[in-house]
Amino acid sequence: MCTRSRDYDSPPGQIRCVHTDTQVAVPTKNNLDIPGWEESGTLTNLPRGRPQRCTTPSQDQEIVAATKDSPHTNVVAIRDALHLDASVWTVRKRVLEAGLHHRVPAAKEHLTQQHREGRLQFAREYVNRGDEVWGRVCHESMIS
């Protein structure tokens, strides 16, 4: 091990010398910018803290209460109504943390009076048909 920056006696392309503290080739070590190495003395990743939450627990409770009071309101409207200085993603995360999930209801076509009359007419036409007609009808459906 050497502490010099170069060992000119070694052939090119080989590690010329290794830094005694970091066990890294000196030319490589000189090119690395390792933040915090002088303070910690280690090259491993150190644990990092999480960023501070931008909403308080009381604001989180207000978000959840507003969502429960009006479940069809979107998070943008909730954020604006509560005058929060947080992103839409933050408000959405708070709603999801509370276990509330956004679901889109199935779009169904509402039956009109014409639909009802057509169904009733069909039922009256085929009510007395025997097994020769209804035996050919498939009861399986691909749509659930």
pTM of the model: 0.45
Average pLDDT, integer, range 3-22: 53
Return the closest-CA partner of residue 82 out of 52, 59, 55, 56: 59
Q: Which helix (H) or strand (E) covers residue 35, if one does?
A: none
The Cα 91–Cα 59 span in angstroms is 10
Average pLDDT, integer, range 68-76: 89
Angle of helix 88-97 relative to helix 57-69, nearest 10 degrees, comes to: 80
Task: Taking the CA atoms of 122, 124, 129 and 131 in sequence, report the sign of the dihedral they define.
Answer: positive
Output phi, psi for 18, to 5 deg: -115, 135
| Distances in whole angstroms, Cα of residue 61 to Cα of each of 36, 38, 74, 97, 140 | 39, 44, 16, 11, 48
Which comes out higher in pLDDT, residue 1 or 124? Answer: 124
Given this model, what pLDDT does residue 111 score?
Answer: 85
The Cα 28–Cα 16 span in angstroms is 11
The domain spans of the chain are 1-33, 57-97
**Mean pLDDT over all residues of the chain?**
78
Given this model, what pLDDT does residue 1 score?
Answer: 45
Average pLDDT, integer, range 18-29: 58
Give yes or no for residue 19 having a pLDDT over 60.
Answer: no
